[in-house]
Structure 1
C-alpha cells in the first residue's frame, strides 16, 4: 500500500466531480438560471449554457479518469489514468476559477483553491 495518499486524493476528486456533474445533469435549468445571474455583468453572460456544458464534460472526464486511476493504482500500481484524471481535474478547477474571478466572486474563487491544492499534489505524485 505505497499509494494510499494518491488513492485517497483520486477518490476525493472522483466524489467531488461526480456530485458536481450529477447536480449539473439533473438540475440543469436551475443551474443555468442561477449562473445567468451570476455572470450577468461578464463576457460570459450570453454563453452560460455552453460554458456550463464545457465544465460538465470536463467534470465527467475527471470523474471517470480519477475513478479508474484509483482502481488502477490499487490493483497494479499503475499511474496513467490517475495522472490524467488529476491533470483534467486541475484544468477543470482552473476553468471554474476563471469564471469566479470574472464574476468577481472572490469567496468562490478562494474555495476552488481548496480543491486545487490536492489536485496539484496528485499530479505531482502520479507523474
Structure 2
C-alpha cells in the first residue's frame, strides 16, 4: 500500500484518457465538426482530422500504459509502465494545451492545466 497515491493518479489518468479516446472513436464526426469550427482561424484549420487522429493515438497509449502501470505497481512495485503512461499523459495534455492556446480558448487551456498537475506529479513520483 506504499504506492496508493500513484495508483490512484494512474487510475485517474487511465479513466480520463480511455474515456476521451472512446468518445473520439465513437463520435468521430461530431468531434471533427466541432473542432473544425474551433480551429477555423488557426494553422490547424485544414488539419483537424489528422491532428485529432494523432491525439487519439497518444491518448489511447496513455490510458493503456496507465492501466498496465497501475497493475504493475500494485502487483510487484514496478514503475516502468506507470512512468511511461504518465509521460504520455503529459504529452497528450501538452498537445491539447497547444491547440487551445492556438484557438485562443484560454478557459479551455486553464482546464487542461488542472489535469496536467496530477500527470506531472505521477511522473515525479514514478521516476
Q: Under a length normalisation based on structure 2, what TM-score does the superposition of the two structures give?
A: 1.00
Shift of 1:16: 0.2
Please name the residue that 2:98 is paired with.
98
Please name the residue that 1:82 is paired with.
82
Segments of 5+ residues of structure 2 without an aligned counterpart are none
Shift of 1:84: 0.2
Aligned residues: 127
The 1-side partners of 2:63 and 2:85 are apart by 7
Query: What are the within-5 Å matches in structure 2 for residues 38-77 of structure 1?
Result: 38-77=38-77
Shift of 1:12: 0.1
Q: Tell me how large the CA RMSD over aligned residues is.
A: 0.2
Shift of 1:27: 0.2
Q: Secondary structure at the match of 1:82?
A: helix
Shift of 1:34: 0.2
Q: Secondary structure at the match of 2:95?
A: helix
The 2-side partners of 1:75 and 1:23 are apart by 30
The 1-side partners of 2:112 and 2:104 are apart by 14
Shift of 1:69: 0.1
The 2-side partners of 1:111 and 1:18 are apart by 18
Q: Under a length normalisation based on structure 1, what TM-score does the superposition of the two structures give?
A: 1.00
Please name the residue that 1:6 is paired with.
6
